[in-house]
């Protein structure tokens, strides 16, 4: 109820602040009998972890997950899976300068107003560090729905766009560069842009595109829990996300029905796929694809005017180690959230027919 849980049947509840002892979570509803690949789970965490390349924050965190329950002899038991990730790099003194400061476009002011009290260190609960727990759960979800493939990639950084449709891309190249864009030439431009932005002490936004293949027909619940509505919520719940569109998205609003309709083939597939793999909130077996907008990171290494908790005007400047662009590290998070939705809806779909 208080917002720290996600999912109906495959349900993740997370806890933890950026600079507490540990973050962690509980996955309730994971079926028994999954022979877990722990390397695959840690690999997803490594894709998200800080310090992994020259274009992300240089903070170092091993982000090693420790499972406490729900798994016996490597296999899920059907009981709740508890896990923690220790916070090893808690330089709390780094944050003494922001104790009483409301940083622009951060959650400092709103948390303080809402709760009357907050763990200000590293953003506390509002820190994107929390997404590491989503990645753990998402990695398990991927193993539950192993026939479905989920690939996200960087489709824009600032005004550098990867214009090619996803069908023309080789997803095996996503991990071949540090910005996670499957087109090498565009990737290089993106990397250079991020490096330049970092030198300015500034940050830049971007978009992530996610493509989900091999989805069975029938996932999605009417009326309020349409598959794309839940995917949208999942994505919008990730820090820094400002928008979500699927299939034809905002561009589709300019089209006519006669152009937009996807003609059905005899086998139930469609000739085009402007629908984005979902009809009436339910997957139709075609590829699901969507795009997620990330704003530029709010912490910049430039002087900014702001206020302190007493309403005094002050000048502040970001310190420490921050991401100049959140998108490269957001790729596994987008995939994880998509996996959570699909795992959950796969279970929901098991109870539909008598």
| Positions in 59-88 near a copy of itself (CB under 8 A) | 66, 68-70, 72, 75-82, 84
**Contact between 154 and a copy of itself per CB under 8 A:** no
Question: Hey, is 160 helix, strand or coil?
Answer: strand
Residue 207 contacts by C-beta under 8 Å, 6 or more apart in sequence?
A: 154, 155, 156, 291, 292, 293, 294, 327
Q: How far is the CB of 172 from a copy of itself (least distance, A)?
A: 26
**Contact between 90 and a copy of itself per CB under 8 A:** no
- The residues in 238-297 that bind a copy of itself, with binding defined as CB under 8 A, are 239, 242-250, 252-268, 270, 274-276, 278-284, 293-297
Of the pair 170, 264, the CB lying nearest a copy of itself is at 264
Q: How far is the CB of 140 from a copy of itself (least distance, A)?
A: 11
**Contact between 174 and a copy of itself per CB under 8 A:** no
Q: How far is the CB of 308 from a copy of itself (least distance, A)?
A: 10
Number of chain positions touching a copy of itself (CB under 8 A): 151
> Within 10 Å of residue 205's Cβ, how many Cβ atoms?
18
Secondary structure letter of residue 198 according to DSSP: H
Alpha-carbon distance 266 to 288, whole Å? 20
**Contact between 17 and a copy of itself per CB under 8 A:** yes
The residue from 182, 206, 328, 332 that contacts a copy of itself (CB under 8 A) is 206
From the list 297, 295, 303, 305, the residue with the least C-alpha distance to 322 is 297
Residue spans of alpha helices (H) in 116-183: 131-144
Angle 177-18-318 (CA atoms, 0-180°, nearest 5)? 75
- The residues in 295-324 that bind a copy of itself, with binding defined as CB under 8 A, are 295-300, 302, 304-307, 311-313
From the list 194, 189, 191, 231, the residue with the least C-alpha distance to 209 is 231
Q: What are φ and ψ of residue 23, in 5° steps?
A: -105, 170
277 with 218: CB under 8 angstroms? no
Q: How far is the CB of 286 from a copy of itself (least distance, A)?
A: 11
**Contact between 158 and a copy of itself per CB under 8 A:** yes
Q: Which residues pair with 313 in a beta bridge?
A: 307
Contact segment (CB under 8 A) with a copy of itself among 40-48, 89-97, 169-177, 234-242 equals 234-242
The residue from 15, 89, 90, 171 that contacts a copy of itself (CB under 8 A) is 15
In order of 50, 175, 228, the CA distances from 165 in angstroms are 30, 18, 20
321 with 58: CB under 8 angstroms? yes
**Contact between 5 and a copy of itself per CB under 8 A:** yes
**Contact between 38 and a copy of itself per CB under 8 A:** no
Q: How far is the CB of 221 from a copy of itself (least distance, A)?
A: 3
- The residues in 100-129 that bind a copy of itself, with binding defined as CB under 8 A, are 102, 104-107, 109-111, 113-119, 124-126
- Sequence length of the chain is 354
């Amino acid at each position: 109820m208080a917002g720290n849980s996600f999912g109906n049947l495959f349900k993740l509840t997370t806890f933890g602040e950026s600079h507490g002892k540990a973050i962690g979570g509980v996955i309730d509803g994971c079926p028994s009998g999954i022979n877990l690949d722990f390397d695959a789970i840690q690999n997803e965490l490594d894709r998200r972890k800080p310090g992994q390349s020259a274009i992300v924050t240089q903070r170092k965190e091993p982000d090693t997950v420790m499972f406490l329950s729900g798994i016996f002899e490597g296999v899920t038991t059907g009981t709740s899976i508890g896990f923690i990730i220790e916070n090893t790099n808690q330089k709390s003194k780094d944050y003494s300068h922001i104790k009483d400061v409301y940083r622009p476009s951060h959650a400092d002011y709103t948390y303080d107003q809402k709760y009357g009290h907050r763990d200000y260190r590293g953003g506390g609960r509002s820190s994107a560090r929390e997404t590491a727990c989503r990645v753990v759960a998402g990695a398990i979800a991927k193993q539950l729905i192993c026939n479905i493939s989920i690939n996200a990639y960087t489709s824009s950084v600032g005004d550098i766009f990867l214009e090619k449709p996803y069908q023309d891309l080789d997803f095996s190249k996503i991990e071949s560069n540090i910005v996670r864009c499957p087109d090498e030439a565009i990737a290089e431009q993106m990397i250079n842009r991020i490096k330049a932005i970092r030198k300015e002490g500034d940050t830049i936004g971007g978009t992530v595109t996610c493509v989900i293949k091999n989805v069975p027909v029938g996932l999605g619940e009417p009326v309020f829990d349409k598959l794309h509505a839940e995917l949208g919520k999942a994505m919008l719940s990730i820090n820094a996300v400002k928008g979500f569109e699927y299939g034809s998205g905002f561009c589709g609003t300019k089209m006519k029905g006669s152009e937009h309709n996807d003609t059905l083939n005899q086998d139930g597939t469609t000739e085009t796929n402007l629908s984005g793999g979902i009809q009436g909130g339910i997957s139709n077996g075609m590829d699901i694809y969507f795009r997620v907008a990330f704003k530029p990171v709010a912490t910049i290494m430039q002087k900014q005017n702001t206020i302190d908790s007493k309403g005094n005007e002050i000048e502040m400047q970001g310190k420490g180690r921050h991401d100049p662009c959140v998108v490269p590290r957001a790729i596994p998070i987008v995939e994880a959230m998509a996996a959570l939705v699909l795992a959950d809806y796969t279970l929901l779909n098991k109870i539909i027919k008598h």
